[in-house]
Amino acid sequence: MAGIYLHIPFCKTRCIYCDFYSTTRSELKTRYVRALCSELEMRKEYLKGERVETIYFGGGTPSQLEEGDFRQLFETIQKCYGVESCREITLEANPDDLSKEYLQMLSTLPFNRLSMGIQTFDDATLKLLKRRHDARTAIEAVDRCRQAGFSNISIDLIYGLPGETKERWENDLRQAIDLNVEHISAYHLIYEEDTPIYKMLKQHQVSEVDEDSSLEFFTLLIERLQKAGFEHYEISNFCRPGKYSRHNTSYWQGISYLGCGPSAHSFDGMTREWNVSSIDLYIKDIEENRRAFEIEHLDQVTRYNEFIITTIRTVWGTPIEKLKQTFGNELWEYCRKMAAPYLENGKLEEHDGALRLTREGIFISDSIMSDLLWVD
C-alpha cells in the first residue's frame, strides 16, 4: 500500500506563523494544476505498482481550488494509479472557504475526509495571526460540513500562542470538543525563522510562553480530550476510536508515498526526494518535461534513526521484531541498551511486542527519541 500527497500552495493571504511553501499568486492556478497532472503522469512508476490507499491534498490552501481543478487531478490519479483501493482521501480547507455551495461541490468528488485549520477560537488572536475566519465562522463551517454529508472531520489547533492563558486554552478545548469532530490535531506554536511572527518575537512585539505554561497546556490537552473520549494515538494527534489519520499514520509507519508539487517530499523506503520550493521553477521545468528535485539515499543508520523517530511517537510504538529484522542485531542491542533506563523508570514500556511511550514518557519524548538514536 502507498499514499499520494498533492501540495496545493495557493493562499489568499499568508498566516504570520506558517513556514510551509505557499504563494498568493492565484493567477497561476490553471497552469499549476496542469503541471501537477503532468508530474503525476511523469512519475507513475515511482510507487512500483503499490495500491494507493490514501490521498492527501495539503497546502497552502487546497480549498482555493475549484471543481474543474479537482476533476482534472482525480482523473489523472485514476488513470495513472487507480483509486479503487483508497480508504481515505483528505482535503485541507480553511473554514471561510467552506460555503454551502462549495461543500455541495466537494460532496460530488471522492473526498471522504476534511481537515480544517481552525487554530484557536479566540477572535483577537485569529486577527493577530492574519487568519481569515473568526470563531463563529469556524463553528458554522463544521455544521455545514455535517449537513453536506461529511462524517470524518479533523480540526487543527495551536497552543502556546502569544498571550495564551490557561483559561483561553481551556476555552479552545471546550469549543473543539463541543464540535464533536472525529479528529483533533494540536501543535505548540513554533517561531520559525523567516516568518513574520519570528520577526515580531525578535522585535519584542510578542513573547513566547514559558516552559511551565507549555507543560500545563499540553497536560490539559491530553486530560480534556481523553476525558471526552478521544484516543491519544500520536504525540500531537487525537481521534475518536478508529478515526486516526490513515495518511499521516503511513508516514509514521514508513509506508511509501509520492509527493507532487513544489517542496513536496517523496519516500520509497530507501530514498527520499523533494521538489524545488518555487512555483515558477516547478511549472517551468514540468512544462519542459523535466523536474527540479533533490534526492537523498538513506543508509542503514539514517533509516534506523528515522524508524525510531516516526514509530516511537505513536500509540503503537516501535515494533521490536521489525526493528531486529530490518536493521540487525547490533542496532537492536544498542536500542535496547539506550531504552533500559526509561523502561526502569516507567517512561517506556514493552507492550504487544513494541517499545512504547508511557503517559509520563510522552512529556519527555524528545529526550527519549534523542537517546535512542545512533550517533556516530
pLDDT in tens, 318-339: 999 999 999 999 999 999 999 9
Q: What does the pLDDT look like over 250-299, one tens digit per residue?
A: 999 999 999 999 999 999 999 999 999 999 999 999 999 999 999 999 99
Kindly report the average pLDDT of the chain as a whole number: 96
Q: Confirm whether 259 is domain-assigned.
A: no
CA distance 32 to 70: 12
Are residues 244 and 338 located together in one domain of the fold?
Answer: no
Q: Which of 251, 267, 291 is the last residue of a domain?
A: 251
Q: Which of 251, 278, 308 is the last residue of a domain?
A: 251
Number of domains in the chain: 2
Are residues 245 and 313 located together in one domain of the fold?
Answer: no
Q: Which residue has the higher pLDDT, 14 or 30?
A: 30
Are residues 220 and 310 located together in one domain of the fold?
Answer: no
List the domain range (segments joined by +) for residue 149. Answer: 2-251
CA distance 354 to 59: 34
Q: Is 155 helix (H, G, I), strand (E, B) or coil?
A: strand
Are residues 332 and 237 located together in one domain of the fold?
Answer: no
Query: In CATH, what number is assigned to the domain containing residue 344?
Result: 1.10.10
Are residues 227 and 309 located together in one domain of the fold?
Answer: no
Q: Confirm whether 227 is domain-assigned.
A: yes
- The strand pairing partners of 91, in sequence order, are 57, 114
Answer whether residue 102 shows pLDDT above 80. Answer: yes
Q: Are 268 and 46 in contact (CB under 8 A)?
A: yes
pLDDT of residue 376: 75
Q: Confirm whether 11 is domain-assigned.
A: yes
Its sign, for the CA torsion 170, 171, 172, 174, is positive
Query: In CATH, what number is assigned to the domain containing residue 234?
Result: 3.80.30.20
Are residues 215 and 117 located together in one domain of the fold?
Answer: yes
Are residues 210 and 118 located together in one domain of the fold?
Answer: yes
| Residue 363 dihedral angles phi and psi, to the nearest 5° | -75, -20
Q: Confirm whether 271 is domain-assigned.
A: no
CA distance 194 to 185: 24
Q: Are 154 and 113 in contact (CB under 8 A)?
A: yes
Are residues 116 and 218 located together in one domain of the fold?
Answer: yes
Return the residue matching grid coordinates 516501535. 318
pLDDT of residue 358: 97
Are residues 232 and 322 located together in one domain of the fold?
Answer: no
- Burial per residue of 233-254, b for 16 or more beta-carbon CB atoms within 10 angstroms, e otherwise: bbbbbbbbeebbbbbbbbbbbb
Q: What does the pLDDT look like over 22-70, one tens digit per residue?
A: 999 999 999 999 999 999 999 999 999 999 999 999 999 999 999 999 9
Q: Which of 235, 251, 267 is the last residue of a domain?
A: 251
CA distance 97 to 108: 17
Q: Are 80 and 46 in contact (CB under 8 A)?
A: no
Are residues 236 and 132 located together in one domain of the fold?
Answer: yes
CA distance 300 to 307: 10
CA distance 311 to 305: 10
Run of H or E including 79: helix 67-80
Are residues 69 and 173 located together in one domain of the fold?
Answer: yes
Q: Confirm whether 268 is domain-assigned.
A: no
CA distance 374 to 330: 11
Q: Confirm whether 273 is domain-assigned.
A: no
Answer whether residue 351 shows pLDDT above 90. Answer: yes
275 residue type, one letter: N
- Burial per residue of 84-118, b for 16 or more beta-carbon CB atoms within 10 angstroms, e otherwise: eebebbbbbbbbbbbeeebbeebeeeebbbbbbbb
Q: Confirm whether 283 is domain-assigned.
A: no
Answer whether residue 14 shows pLDDT above 90. Answer: no
Q: Which residue has the higher pLDDT, 376 or 362?
A: 362
Q: How would residue 19 be classed by pLDDT, with cut points 50, 70 and 90?
A: confident
Q: Confirm whether 294 is domain-assigned.
A: no
Are residues 194 and 54 located together in one domain of the fold?
Answer: yes
